[in-house]
């Protein structure tokens, strides 16, 4: 029997009161691709960060090629032949590709010889693994796919034999992802060991040899990929049978609520993010916007939500709203009946240091029912309202005096959803409603969104999760590079067709 390239024995790690990894053991054979799958928050990234020396485990042992190895920091991980490509790249934005590759792996105190050597090595690596990158390009000027290659090159330059990739396809189009998988295949042929962390079943089935499943900080199973199936993996991930479909009756679209005509958005950095986008949503229907992250969906939500400026025309119930001037802000949008569950609840939707009741008033703090008189707010009234909403949305623990940061991701999201849905808006903007949310809360939130639709409200749903788009939407629009590539009906399309649109390959006219 061959020795495993990596063996972890009994790894445990707690962050304060949160147990992120519980007694985890795993063996990865050399020259294989090993997948680690699990929900957000299952502890996958923590485990890999421990292997890379980024965090220190509370207990447990690591063996590399059969040898017990201490990895107190990344330097030791690199020395042990481990390379890691983080979900959020660790690149110096205003350095060149070459400087980024060399950083930390210089040959001597002088810079020039190191750079010269790296330049020739990069050329070699590029030929060997089809990893072409211009060494003199500055990181902030190249695309994310390129940046990811730089990260892989960094690892290879350090002669990594073991490569860990954390959710590598999150920022890639399906086509770019396929290319990445081809590269990983080449690396495997060359005898490298690869660990792929993902929450996407499709990727696991497509490329891995073996797969380990994590749930709530524990390793629940390790199986050969060919011996398993997506439903089985899904069940292992969440611990019970999963309803991948949302129960809903066909939509009964009513009057026009939102009309967007030739909307353009240029961000503060001068980048043209949204290009000539037009669409409509009627009362009682959900329009889903699919697309890889970073293709203009965020900016679209921000403009509609009132905190990014745009050009073009947007009508709510037939009346246009201000997109550039003094009346273009979150307050006026709320007054016009637009509610917004933002993409990033920790950065935008909530103030993590505020208590739950303060967050329930957030954005609606001018509401007359929250005021005692013209001068002062009525904090008691807000607290009562919060207790009521927490109960109806099953927020646990239902304590208005707790800070937002002390709730779990799912309960945080429920606070945001409760606040926005309970406003009974004409139009609800929803961005990534279930990102980092446990399965139970996902089902609850999906039900709330569908219920709001059935009350005759218009809903704009933006999500990078195709499954979510497919199961919730009444119509699907796909965004790529700031443009809407086409609209489809969920029952008349499939993942493959949407994937092509997401990659910018236009199909036949919608």
Partner 1 sequence: MDLLTLLQVLDSTVRMATPLLLACLAGLFSERAGIFDIGLEGKMLAAAFLAAAIASVTGSAWIGLVAGIGASLVLAIVHGLASITFRGNQLISGVAINFFAAGITVVVAQSWFGQGGRTPQLSDGARFQSITLPFAESLSGVPLLGPIYKELISGHSILVYMAMLIVPLTWWVLYRTRFGLRLRAVGENPAAVDTAGISVVRLRYSAVLICGVLCGIAGAQLATAEPAAGFIKDMTAGRGYIALAALIFAKWRPWYALMACLLFGFLQALELRPDLITNVIGIKVQGQLLSALPYIMTVVILAGFVGKAIPPRAGGEPYVKER
Partner 2 sequence: MEKMPKWADIFLIPLVSLVLAAIFSAIVILAIGEDPWAAVKLMVKGALGSTYAWGYTLYYATNFIFTGLAVAVAFHARMFNIGGEGQAMLGGLGVALVCLYIPWPHWSLALIGASVGAALFGAAWTAIPAFLQAKRGSHIVITTIMFNFIANALLVYLLVNVLKPVGMMEPATSKFPKLIQLPSFRDMFSTADTIMFRGAPANITFFVAVAACVAVWLLIWRTRLGYELRAFGHSESAAKYAGINPTKIIMVSMLISGGLAGMMAINNVMGEAERLVLNAVEGAGFIGIAVALMGRSHPFGVFLAALLFGFLYQGGAELALWTSIPREMIVVIQALVILFTGALDNMVRMPLERLFLGLRRKPAAKPAAAE
Cβ within 8 Å of residue 402, ≥6 positions away: 355, 356
Q: Per rule CB under 8 A, is residue 349 in the interface with partner 2?
A: yes
Query: Which of 34, 44, 154, 282 forms a contact with partner 1 (CB under 8 A)?
Result: 154
Residue (376 or 492) nearer to partner 2, CB: 376
Judged by beta carbon, residue 55 or residue 157, the one nearer partner 2 is 55
Q: How far is CA 391 from CA 339, 384, 386, 420, in A?
A: 21, 11, 8, 15
Q: Within positions 79 to 118, which residues make up the interface with partner 1, using CB under 8 A?
A: 79, 84, 86, 88, 90-95, 99-100, 102-106, 108-112, 114
The tokens 């990865």 sit on which residue?
A: 28
Within 10 A of 139 (CB to CB), how many other CB atoms are there?
18
Interactions with partner 2, residue window 304-323 (CB under 8 A): 305-307
Least Cβ distance, residue 222 to partner 1 (angstroms): 26
Binding of partner 2 by 488 (CB under 8 A): no
**How far is Cα 44 from Cα 395, in angstroms, rounded to an integer?**
26
Q: What, of partner 2, partner 1, none, does residue 32 touch, CB below 5 to 8 Å by kind? A: none
Residue 393 · residue 423 · CB < 8 Å: no
| Rounded Cα gap, residues 243 and 253, in angstroms | 26
Residue 57 Cβ, how far from partner 1 at the closest point, in Å? 14
H-type alpha helices, 208-355: 230-238, 297-305, 330-335
Rounded to the nearest 10°, the torsion over CA 134, 135, 139, 140 is -50
- CA geometry: angle 205, 211, 216, nearest 5 deg: 115
Give the E-state strand segments of 245-336 in sequence order: 256-266, 272-282, 286-290, 311-316, 319-320
Q: Is residue 131 at the binding interface for partner 1, with CB under 8 A as the rule? A: no
Beta carbons of 210 and 195 less than 8 angstroms apart: no
Among positions 211-230, residues that touch partner 2 (CB under 8 A) are 216-217
Query: Does 170 contact partner 2 by CB under 8 A?
Result: no
Binds partner 2 (CB under 8 A): choice among 3, 10, 18, 120 = 18
446 binds, among partner 1, partner 2, none (CB under 5 to 8 A by kind): none
Our finding on whether 77 is near partner 1 (CB under 8 A) is yes
Size of the site for partner 1 (CB under 8 A): 34
Q: How far apart are CA 126 and CA 120, in angstroms?
A: 10
Does 54 interact with partner 1 (rule: CB under 8 A)? Answer: yes
Q: How many CB atoms lie within 10 A of CB 324?
A: 11
Minimum distance from residue 88 beta carbon to partner 2 (Å): 12
Whichever of 44 and 149 has its CB closer to partner 2, that residue is: 44
The answer to whether residues 244 and 467 touch, using CB atoms and an 8 Å cutoff, is: yes
**Closest C-alpha to 340, from 265, 426, 408, 398:** 426
Longest Cα–Cα distance in the chain: 78
Whichever of 346 and 399 has its CB closer to partner 1, that residue is 346
329 binding partner 2? (CB under 8 A): yes
> What is the rounded distance in angstroms from the CA atom of residue 454 to the CA atom of residue 251?
8
Q: Does the protein bind partner 2 through residue 15 (CB under 8 A)? A: yes
Q: Binding of partner 2 at residue 288 (CB under 8 A)?
A: no
- Assigned token pair, 211: 């797969």
Least CB distance to partner 2 at residue 408 (A)? 4
216 binds, among partner 2, partner 1, none (CB under 5 to 8 A by kind): partner 2
Instruction: Please report, as residue ranges, which positions from 20 to 39 form the binding site for partner 2 (by CB under 8 A).
Output: 20-21
Give me the least distance between CB of 20 and partner 1, in Å please.
9
* Omega of the bond leading into 397 within 30 degrees of 0 (cis): yes
Residues at the interface with partner 2 (CB under 8 A) = 13, 15-21, 40-46, 216-217, 305-307, 329-334, 340, 342, 344, 347-354, 358, 361-363, 365-366, 371, 375-377, 379, 403, 406, 408-410, 436, 438
Residues at the interface with partner 1 (CB under 8 A) = 15, 52, 54-55, 73-79, 84, 86, 88, 90-95, 99-100, 102-106, 108-112, 114, 154
């Amino acid at each position: 029997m061959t020795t495993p390239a990596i063996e972890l024995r009994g790894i445990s790690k707690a962050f304060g009161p949160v147990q992120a990894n519980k007694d985890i053991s795993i063996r990865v054979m050399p020259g294989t691709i090993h997948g680690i799958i699990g929900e957000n928050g299952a502890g996958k990234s923590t485990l890999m960060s421990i292997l890379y020396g980024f965090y220190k485990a509370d207990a447990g042992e690591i063996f590399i090629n059969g040898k017990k190895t201490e990895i107190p920091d990344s330097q030791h991980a690199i020395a042990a032949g481990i390379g890691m490509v983080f979900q959020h790249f660790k690149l110096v934005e205003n350095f060149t590709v070459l400087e980024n590759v060399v950083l930390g792996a210089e040959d001597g105190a002088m810079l020039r010889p190191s750079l010269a050597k790296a330049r020739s090595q990069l050329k070699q690596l590029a030929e060997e693994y089809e990893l072409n990158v211009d060494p003199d390009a500055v990181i902030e000027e190249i695309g994310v796919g390129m940046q990811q290659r730089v990260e892989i090159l960094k690892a290879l330059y350090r002669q990594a034999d073991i490569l860990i990739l954390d959710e590598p396809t999150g920022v890639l189009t399906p086509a770019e992802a396929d290319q990445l998988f081809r590269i990983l295949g080449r690396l495997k042929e060359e005898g490298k060991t690869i660990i792929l962390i993902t929450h996407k079943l499709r990727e696991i089935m497509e490329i891995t040899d073996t797969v380990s499943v994590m749930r709530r900080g524990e390793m629940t199973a390790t199986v050969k990929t060919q011996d398993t199936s997506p439903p089985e993996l899904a069940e292992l991930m969440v611990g019970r049978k999963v309803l991948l479909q949302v129960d809903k009756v066909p939509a009964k679209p009513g009057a026009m609520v939102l009309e967007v005509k030739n909307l353009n958005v240029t961000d503060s950095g001068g980048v043209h993010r949204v290009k000539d986008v037009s669409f409509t949503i009627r009362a009682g229907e959900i329009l889903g916007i699919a697309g890889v992250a970073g293709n203009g969906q965020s900016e679209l939500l921000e403009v509609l939500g009132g905190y990014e400026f745009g050009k073009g025309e947007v009508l709510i119930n037939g009346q246009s709203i201000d997109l550039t001037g003094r009346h273009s802000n979150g307050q006026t949008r709320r007054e016009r009946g637009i509610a917004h569950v933002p993409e990033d609840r920790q950065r935008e939707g909530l103030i993590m240091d505020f208590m739950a009741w303060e967050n329930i008033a957030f954005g609606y703090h001018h509401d007359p029912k929250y005021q005692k008189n013209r001068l002062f707010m009525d904090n008691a009234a807000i607290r009562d309202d919060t207790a009521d909403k927490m109960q109806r949305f099953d927020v646990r623990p239902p304590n208005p005096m707790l800070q937002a940061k002390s709730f779990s991701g799912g309960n945080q999201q429920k606070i945001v959803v409760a606040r926005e849905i309970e406003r009974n808006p004409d139009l609800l903007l929803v961005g990534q409603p279930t990102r980092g949310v446990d399965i139970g809360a996902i089902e609850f939130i999906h039900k709330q969104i569908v219920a709001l639709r059935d009350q005759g409200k218009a809903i704009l749903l933006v999500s990078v999760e195709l499954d979510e788009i497919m199961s919730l939407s009444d119509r699907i629009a796909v965004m790529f590079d700031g443009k809407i590539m086409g609209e489809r009906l969920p029952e008349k399309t499939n993942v493959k067709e949407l994937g092509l649109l997401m990659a910018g390959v236009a199909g036949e006219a919608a």
